[in-house]
Amino acid sequence: MVTDPRRVVCQGNTSGRQVKFGIAVPVGDFVFPLIFSPNTPDRLARVVDIEGPSVEYHLFRSGTGTDWSEEEFERAAARIYTLERAVTVRHWGRDRKMDEMVLPSFEYPENWTNPLVGERQALDRDQFMPVMDEYYGHLGWDSVSGWPMEARLTELGLNDVHGPMIRGAEEARCRLAGPMPEKLESSDRSSQGGY
């Protein structure tokens, strides 16, 4: 049983081989987190008496027997999500421009009338861009590049990730011949001497 939420990567032994595996959130993002429900008066999802956003935590505790607080669970999930992003930056130069490539798919009106507003809706890019900025800020990612910032990686105990992420993104840029983000936050840029 893992008792330290800072230790996301665990080790095991299979047939004499050392195997590393990560603790992952036990559900997919297609259904979870449960937040909205058309079946409740306040439109918030619940499972029995558990508020929607806490369902994943309760599933994790029940399924693993791990005795973490909900805050420890959320920290472990943030480490996983941030590390996953850093890996995609390092290996493929993932950035905000890549994230924005899917937006045209949401700019078409919905197929059905939205029951909450009584009409079909489509994404308004001008309204959505500040939401992306806020989302990246909430995650501790640079709002221009979409890359995890060094301070956030350090806060999550991933101190050794930032440098290799930046170097790997530079190599990916050369290998994939794609554009790099226009800038990083000044603290990241100064610590790395630019890109």
The domain spans of the chain are 1-68, 69-195
Give the pTM.
0.70
Please count the other Cβ atoms lying within 10 Å of the Cβ belonging to residue 8: 20
Mean per-residue pLDDT, 122-140: 96
Q: How confident is the model at residue 13 (pLDDT cuts 50, 70, 90)?
A: very low
Q: How confident is the model at residue 18 (pLDDT cuts 50, 70, 90)?
A: very low
Model pLDDT for residues 142-162, shown as the tens digit of each residue: 999 999 999 999 999 999 999
User: How many Å apart are CA 124 and CA 106, to the nearest integer?
Assistant: 9
What is the average per-residue pLDDT within 115-124?
90
Contact 27, 52 (CB under 8 A): no
Rounded Cα–Cα distance for residues 165 and 187 (Å) = 15
Per-residue pLDDT band at 103 (split at 50, 70, 90): very high
Identify the CA nearest to 66 among candidates 2, 160, 9.
2
Selected residue with higher pLDDT from 194 and 157:
157
> What is the pLDDT at residue 181?
60
> Do 86 and 8 contact (CB within 8 A), yes or no?
no
Model confidence pLDDT, tens digit, residues 47-89: 888 888 888 898 889 899 999 999 999 999 999 999 999 999 9
Q: To the nearest 10°, report the CA torsion of 60, 66, 70, 74.
A: -70
For residue 98, pLDDT beyond 70: yes
pLDDT value, residue 192: 44
pLDDT value of position 17? 40
Kindly provide the residue ranges of all beta strands, DSSP E only, lying in the chain, ordered along the sequence.
Answer: 9-14, 17-22, 46-47, 50-51
Question: Is the model's pLDDT at 184 over the cut of 60?
Answer: no
Residue 20 clears pLDDT 50, i.e. is over it: no
Contacts (Cβ under 8 Å, ≥6 apart) of 104: none
Q: Pick the more confident residue, 48 or 125.
A: 125
| % of the chain residues with pLDDT over 70 | 74
